Amino acid sequence: MLKTDQALLEDIMEQCRWIMRYSELAAAQSPSERSRIVNSGLNAGDIFDMLHFNTVVMNIQQIGELAKRLSPEFVLRTKNEVSWSDIRGMRNIIAHDYGKLSEKTVREIEIIDIPKLAAFCEKELVATQAQYDDIPVVEAEARKLVGEDGQVFRPNPKGDHCYRGEILKVTDTHAIQRFSINAVYIHDLKDFPGDRKPSVGDVLAIRYSNARIEFVEPIPDKTQAKVRQQALGR
């Protein structure tokens, strides 16, 4: 995950948390408690409801603004989990057609969609932190495989690229693939399709397109020896 995506997800999760706090507060407040929030002589319940509505809408709009700034690579990778286009679309409705927003629609977003989005953000951020924590360990393991004079690479995040070679080591978060006798690539396991996780000894072709793994294919047995020999410079 790019640093910018991480920061944006942290902001989105914070907006979700504020909305969930408002929701809990709205459910917990009695009319007598609400009346202490505003001046006497006014309909405290209506004012509180309007404050609640407007505050939630503002946070939803802010989430949409933040979602617009997520990298195309991240949006593409997570599009099956989060409908970013719908989130951006809601932001546009709030910004340009606020009067057409219904309380029912906002309430459904608040109690159904926002908790799901917050849970997604938290899951992604926890996984990213685990990867960051594991990187020094993985790089140290990679150095052991290629020596101090060897090279340790990460896949190119731009364009289309295919990496061929044997999987030398798999950790909880990464896979190390041989590129040559003194060079390896480190792949993030979370980028692999669910049914294509690599194992040590696999000889694979791993194709990326714009920072997303397009496919993972085993290299046929008859050509594996050739791939290994090429990697070892023989």
For 43-75, write each residue's pLDDT tens digit.
Answer: 555 556 777 888 888 898 899 999 999 988 788
Structural domains in the chain, sorted by start: 3-130 (no CATH), 147-231 (2.40.50.140)
Q: Which residues contact 224 (CB under 8 A, 6 or more apart)?
A: 203
Dist. CA 153–CA 165, nearest whole Å: 14
Q: What is the pLDDT of residue 103?
A: 83
Place of tokens 């993972």: 216
Q: In what order do the strands lie in the sheet with 183-188?
A: 151-153, 183-188, 174-180, 160-170, 203-209, 212-218
Each residue's pLDDT tens digit, 163-203: 989 999 998 888 999 988 889 999 988 888 777 789 999 99
Which band of pLDDT confidence, cut at 50, 70 and 90, is reported for residue 40? very low
Q: Among residues 173, 233, 234, 163, which one has the least CA distance to residue 203?
A: 163
Are 208 and 223 spatial neighbours (Cβ–Cβ below 8 Å)?
no
**DSSP structure class, residue 220:** P
Token duo for residue 56: 């939630």
**DSSP structure class, residue 111:** I
Which band of pLDDT confidence, cut at 50, 70 and 90, is reported for residue 223? low
Predicted TM-score of the model (pTM): 0.54
